[in-house]
Chains A and B, each alone.
Chain A
Amino acid sequence: MRRFLDRHWYAYAMVLPVVVVIAVLVLFPLAQGVFFTFTNINEANIANPVLDRAATYIGVGLRNYLNVLSGDSSYGSFWSTLVRTLIWTFSCVFCHYTIGLGLALLLNRQVRGRAVYRVLLILPWAVPAFISAFTWKYMFNAQYGIINQGLRAIGFDDPPVWLGQNDWALVAVIIVNVWLGVPFMMVALLGGLQAIPGDLYEAAEVDGATPWQRFRHITLPGLRSVSSTVVLLGIIWTFNMFAIIYLITGPNPNTRILVTYAFERFFSGASRDYAIASTYGVLILSVLLVFASGYRRALRKQGEVW
């Protein structure tokens, strides 16, 4: 034991603060959150030291899960919300990745004014997300928003009411999120591209490989490890992306995804139902964990281990 500590104490001392914070503010709350899903906790029966009130919630077994998983609309229509969340996540990440990769490939060439382009293209990342949300809400306004004015100017007399009670609202928030998320992908992939050794391309050129073949057999494999990380992170972040939808369309059921509904139950509405909010949280986490372990297994099969 003594020797063990002698050898490792530097490492543990350096890791300790983070471990403590994570344990106190993530693991312990997680356990408590899971516990809450088996109770009927809400605003009226949570312990509140300010009001000097003890907790009076009681256990209800699996009732929260049964209610949510029944897909009942008074509990947020879980299944259709899940499908909408998946549509939202995959269309966003697909666009992030393809557009980000395209721009990274362009920026990786010798172009005059490359530095300027790069700064301009990263700008959406630098603007705080809530500012972007307000901005796009203004631009998407059906009457005076610049987007519909532009559409009318080029001949669409009847442009869609973007942020109304229909599926255009979902399209609109996806567009906003794509605008917001491309710079991160672009920068990460640009870094990946710059790490691919140049002589590979030269050798391929000497062997007479076409540009497509070079892209397919050098660029894509070279980007594999960066891509697998950023795509996984992108999917997790988008799945949990809350601010954009909450600020642009609010409680519109056509843009409702799992996290926004959980927040609705936590924060707004007549009675704040903490138990249902927690149940949604646990279900979201389970979906992501299943997905991430499947993703990891798929990568492992291809010989990639992380």
Chain B
Amino acid sequence: MTLDASSLQVVKAERAAPRRADRSKLASVGLHGALVIASLIAVFPVFWVLVTSFKPDARAVETTPKLVNESTVDNYVRILSGDKGNFLAWFGNSVLIALMTTVIAVFMSATTGYAASRFRFPGKRPLMLSFLVVQMFPFAVLIVPLYNILLTLGLQGSSFGLVLVYCTTAVPFCTYMLKGYFDTIPNDIDEAGRVDGLSPFGVFWRLVLPLARPGLAVTAFYAFLTAWGEVAFASAFLSAADESKTLAVGLQVFVQQNRTEWGHLAAASILVAIPAIAVFYLVQRFLVTGLASGAVKG
């Protein structure tokens, strides 16, 4: 077992980039100009919520936009103190549900993806095809029966029922991505491990999984975001009690028919976006390699 794991990381393919010196000044300006404009469009809404989150509700609806307008941290204080609905409970529920979904989905899709990548077994093709078809299922066709099933199992309104439901959406896609990623890890490693006396599970657990970390990171990211931001099932399946809501459901309280509390909503949004952006920042350097190998081999 003297394999050096780092030397086996998937190497980025040589890129076909023209050397910078080849480019005229004008082209450079155009390139940066386009990227700057695109970045501004991408970032602006987030920036604007951040600005709004410090304004009192009454100032957030003024018709002349100002960056700073009686800005304080009052909104945050009120949200966190539970003045505006039980925000911390919603947050806890969302974290719990998202983490459970991530762990279960990554574990299941890793084993399945590995089996699909390494072994030839009868039923493999139909299985992979069915994962693709499952992507097509609109929740509308499943929502009534799932509601029915959760009612029967007594899981209606519980977080665990929701986790199971999220896994059905996250697992097929994650399996596809991970299968693609495992395909890029040379089979020789498995064989070397076998020669050294590891069982197939040992090979998977001790050799392949550590090498697949970029792919696993992307998968985890995807599963986490699936659960963190889901609206339809959470709205329909969680009980109406305030302390059992997730963030996606709870925050709808701020957007009422007649009057929307934009300041408070913005502050809550920032608090919700921070964990997602943090998770995202941790995995983003893996995103391109992880996603590409999954999509290419699809």
A residues adjacent to B (C-beta < 8 A) = 8, 10-12, 14-15, 17-19, 21-22, 25-26, 28-30, 32-34, 36, 41, 46-50, 99, 102-103, 106-112, 117-132, 134-139, 141, 143-144, 146, 149, 179, 182-183, 187-188, 190-202, 225-226, 229-230, 233, 236-237, 239-240, 242-243, 246-247, 258-259, 262-263, 266-267, 274, 277-278, 280-282, 284-285, 288-289, 292, 306
Provide the bound-state CA to CA distance between A182 and B42, in Å: 10
Q: Mark B32-61, 1 if CB is under 8 A from A, else 0.
A: 101100110111011011001000000011
Evaluate contact between A11 and B168: CB separation under 8 angstroms: no
6 A-B pairs in the complex with CB atoms less than 8 angstroms apart: A10-B115, A25-B168, A121-B39, A138-B266, A191-B293, A289-B133
Contact of B108 among A17, A137, A188 (CB under 8 A): A17
Evaluate contact between A292 and B172: CB separation under 8 angstroms: no
Interface SS, A side? helix
Tally of contacts, chain A with chain B, CB under 8 A: 328
Provide the bound-state CA to CA distance between A199 and B247, in Å: 50
Q: Is B25 an interface residue (CB 8 A)?
A: no
User: Which residues of B sit under 8 angstroms from A117, Cβ to Cβ?
Assistant: 35, 39
Q: Shortest Cβ distance from A265 into chain B, in angstroms?
A: 9
Closest to B218 in A: A187
User: Which residues of B sit under 8 angstroms from A125, Cβ to Cβ?
Assistant: 280
Evaluate contact between B136 and A129: CB separation under 8 angstroms: no
Those 8 A-B pairs whose CB atoms lie nearest each other, nearest first: A191-B292, A281-B141, A262-B140, A128-B229, A126-B280, A281-B140, A29-B145, A198-B16
User: Which residues of A sit under 8 angstroms from B232, Cβ to Cβ?
Assistant: 242-243, 246, 263
Evaluate contact between B164 and A230: CB separation under 8 angstroms: no
User: Which residues of A sit under 8 angstroms from B216, Cβ to Cβ?
Assistant: none
User: Which residues of B sit under 8 angstroms from A19, Cβ to Cβ?
Assistant: 127
Closest to A104 in B: B288
Q: Is B146 an interface residue (CB 8 A)?
A: yes
Q: Shortest Cβ distance from B223 into chain A, in angstroms?
A: 13
Evaluate contact between B298 and A229: CB separation under 8 angstroms: yes
- Which of B1-9, B70-78, B82-90, B148-156 is found at the contact surface with chain A? B148-156
User: Which residues of A sit under 8 angstroms from B144, Cβ to Cβ?
Assistant: 32-33, 36, 41, 266, 274, 277-278, 281
Q: Is B167 an interface residue (CB 8 A)?
A: yes
Contact of B277 among A18, A123, A193, A202 (CB under 8 A): A123
Q: Is B262 an interface residue (CB 8 A)?
A: yes
Closest to B156 in A: A50
User: Which residues of B sit under 8 angstroms from A111, Cβ to Cβ?
Assistant: 31-32, 35
Evaluate contact between B15 and A108: CB separation under 8 angstroms: yes
User: Which residues of A sit under 8 angstroms from B284, Cβ to Cβ?
Assistant: 118-119, 122
Evaluate contact between B168 and A22: CB separation under 8 angstroms: yes
B 261-288 contacts with A by CB, 8 A:
262, 265-266, 269, 272-273, 276-277, 279-281, 284, 287-288
